[in-house]
Amino acid sequence: MIERIESKETGLYCHIPFCASTCDFCAFYQEKPRRTDLDTYLDGMDIEFANLPKDRSFSTIFWGGGTPSLLSAKDLKRLGESMLRSINSDFEEWTVEMAPSTVKADKLSVLLDLGVTRFSLGVQSFNAHHLEQLGRLHNPSQIDTAWEHIQASRVGETNIDLMFALPHQSIEDWLADIEKVDQLKSTHVSTYCLTFEEDTALYLKLAQGTLKIDTEKERAFYLKAWDLLKELGFQQYEISNFARNPSSRCRHNLNTWRMHEWVGCGPSSASQFNGRRYRNPSSLEQWSNGLKTGEQLYEDSVSLDSQILFVDSLLFGLRMNEGIHLDALRRRFSETFSLKPYRVLFEKFIAAGYLKNQGDHFTLTREGQLRCDAIGSELIKASS
């Protein structure tokens, strides 16, 4: 029997797939912002919002992309008003992702009037050379201008996305980026190690041998960042996420990591809802046609059983600093499957110094955090 998630813990994710150009590291589905495609998208979102379940309240909203802030103020207003007509208005958090080159005062004003509570700025780096290496369109001056607009808007919460282990990036470059976030007084920062996704420009360079992965350097980037962020007053609550205080943590992501439910709208958006995990078509045309005909198709549709959700809760729960209570987690999903394979693994991880426990409460050590992907792989094997 799968746990029935209370409506207050349901999230709404809206994917806005438009980008002015493709960054060298990005493998996400995206479209160029042609007017006809923008209209097709907005018409489709009107239908998809109207089809949202009426028996659920959404506690968190997240607009991601793509580049949501690439839309004009007029289009952002239309999209927001369409969504609000179909959902409750007592949500706790509404995040909108933004790119520095697209932040404008009129867009921020529209979004705040709609009820947005949190802006997330995709900076990636404050270094002009590194931005160029990543194929980003913005420059450091545009970051400063965008941040001035965001601060002037008086939005309640802010996040800055940073990337590290970039080509030719030094530890000193990386720490300078973190210091800059502190100077800007963002309430939250997300830090992501560069990954080489297939079908990206950076992956091609890796395959050609012009770039190499240096795992020891990546380790140093992690450790130096964790130390500096703690010194600056940021509290780590997940391997890649840091908040100045508990109220600044991203509630939408927390609900997702805790394996609650969310509904995705927009092409390529994922959902976990009513016992299934599925994804909308990664094609604006297919997604739109399916909505118009009432015969929407889904990609990667999986029926969820309790053990799938239990294992995923383990994987994401261990990434969080709060850790997991093993037996309580199993009881949450009302199942009687054996915990023995997991306890055997946990004993192994404790002996290796990757995991620590107080009774049935388990958290990763710092060394464990550095090895979380390998630990996750072993947990998945234990479940099969």
Reply yes or no on whether the pLDDT at 155 is more than 60: yes
Give the per-residue pLDDT at 357: 96
Give the per-residue pLDDT at 351: 98
CA dihedral sign of residues 333, 334, 340, 341? negative
How do residues 318-333 score in pLDDT, each as one tens digit? 999 999 999 899 889 8
Domain boundaries, the chain: 7-257, 306-383
- Sheet (strand 58-65) strand order: 235-238, 241-243, 188-193, 157-164, 118-124, 93-98, 58-65, 10-16, 262-265, 270-273, 276-279, 299-303
Q: Give the SS3 label for residue 354.
A: coil
Pair 133, 139: CB distance under 8 Å: no
Report the share of the chain in percent with pLDDT over 90: 72
> DSSP string covering 271-297, please?
EEETTEEEE--S-HHHHHHHHHHT---
Helix (H) or strand (E) holding 4: none
Closest to 220 (Cα-Cα) out of 171, 158, 288, 256: 171
Give the per-residue pLDDT at 32: 59
Kindly state the average pLDDT of the residues 298-313.
Answer: 91
Burial group, residue 29, by CB count within 10 angstroms (0-12, 13-18, 19+): buried
The whole-angstrom separation of Cα 333 and Cα 139 is 48
The whole-angstrom separation of Cα 108 and Cα 184 is 18
Give the per-residue pLDDT at 3: 42
**Residue range 7-257, CATH number:** 3.80.30.20
CB neighbour burial string for 48-76, b if at least 16 within 10 angstroms, e if fewer: bbeeeeeebbbbbbbbbbbbbbbbbbebb
| 1 band by pLDDT with thresholds 50, 70 and 90 | very low
Give every CB contact of residue 180 below 8 A, 6+ residues apart in sequence.
Answer: 126
* Cα–Cα distance list, 263 to 87, 120, 256, 297 (Å): 12, 20, 11, 15
Closest to 206 (Cα-Cα) out of 197, 218, 215, 193: 197
Q: Is the domain 306-383 a CATH 2.40.30 member?
A: no
Pair 58, 21: CB distance under 8 Å: no
Kindly state the average pLDDT of the residues 171-200.
Answer: 88
Reply yes or no on whether the pLDDT at 6 is more than 50: no
Kindly state the average pLDDT of the residues 372-383.
Answer: 91
Mean pLDDT for all residues in the chain: 90
Give the per-residue pLDDT at 93: 98
Reply yes or no on whether the pLDDT at 121 is more than 80: yes
The whole-angstrom separation of Cα 69 and Cα 171 is 31
Closest to 202 (Cα-Cα) out of 383, 25, 78: 25
Pair 61, 120: CB distance under 8 Å: no
Give the per-residue pLDDT at 128: 92
